């Protein structure tokens, strides 16, 4: 999903690691009933460990907001900032109506990406981009949505920032007014659906760099 964004960040001198979580994308063959949020956390921690990464800006999109929060809690000395991109946030951070999605996921092992989901949270994803997305999409492991994360005081030492997308179903105006919890960092708003890395890559890169300083 990030193929348009990565070269733009490279051009500006930034090292980028796009992490495919276990059971998704090219690692879909590893999906099983045991794969849950702890697996995803370890996926990210291992990339940090084995690439000797420091001063990291973690970008967590969608449910991966939970993942990057947990990673920052475990290695706060490595993380410069958490950037939540249209993301599920942790219990120690702002909560949004997206959290109610976990009540409706059912008992299946995975959730497929369907045309109906795209129409609901990504109407701006059209034409060749839409065809490409559907051709690459793999089912989402249900436990990634339902598994909780536990955070310690370490989490509070890491800065946060936010990018909200107006077309992904959340009431952005209400969130910015604090109805769903106080924002503890700066934010940007993109007029896009849930996948601005595909539909608005230039704007997304600009916002990532502005928020990360």
Structural domains for the chain? 5-212 (3.40.50.1820)
Q: Please give the pLDDT value at position 60.
A: 96
What pLDDT is stored for residue 206 in this prediction? 98
pLDDT of residue 136: 93
Task: Give the model confidence (pLDDT) of 139-197 as tens digits.
Answer: 988 888 888 888 999 999 999 999 999 999 888 999 898 888 888 899 999 999 999 99
Dihedral of alpha carbons 197, 203, 209, 213, sign: negative
pLDDT of residue 106: 52
Which pLDDT score is estimated for 12? Answer: 96
pTM reported for the whole predicted model:
0.90
CB 175 within 8 A of CB 96: yes
What per-residue confidence (pLDDT) applies to 109? 77
Distance, CA of 17 to CA of 48 (rounded, Å): 9
Residue ranges in the chain modelled with pLDDT below 70: 89-108
| DSSP conformational letter for 192 | S
């Amino acid at each position: 999903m990030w193929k348009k964004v990565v070269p733009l960040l490279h051009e500006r001198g930034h090292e980028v690691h796009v992490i495919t979580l276990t059971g998704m994308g090219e690692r879909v063959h590893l999906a099983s009933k045991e794969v849950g949020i702890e697996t995803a956390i370890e996926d990210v921690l291992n990339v940090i460990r084995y690439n000797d990464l420091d001063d990291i800006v973690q970008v967590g999109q969608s449910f991966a907001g939970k993942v990057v929060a947990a990673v920052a809690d475990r290695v706060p000395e490595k993380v410069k900032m958490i950037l939540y991109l249209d993301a599920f946030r942790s219990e120690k951070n702002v909560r949004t109506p997206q959290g109610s999605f976990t009540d409706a996921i059912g008992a299946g092992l995975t959730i497929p990406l369907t045309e109906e989901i795209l129409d609901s949270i990504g109407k701006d994803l059209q034409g060749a981009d839409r065809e490409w997305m559907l051709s690459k999409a793999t089912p989402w492991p249900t436990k990634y949505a339902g598994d909780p994360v536990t955070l310690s005081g370490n989490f509070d030492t890491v800065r946060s920032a936010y990018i909200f997308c107006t077309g992904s179903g959340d009431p952005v105006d209400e969130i910015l007014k604090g109805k769903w919890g106080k924002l503890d960092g700066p934010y940007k708003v993109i007029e896009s659906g849930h996948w601005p890395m595909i539909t608005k890559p230039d704007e997304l890169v600009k916002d990532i760099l502005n928020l990360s300083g």
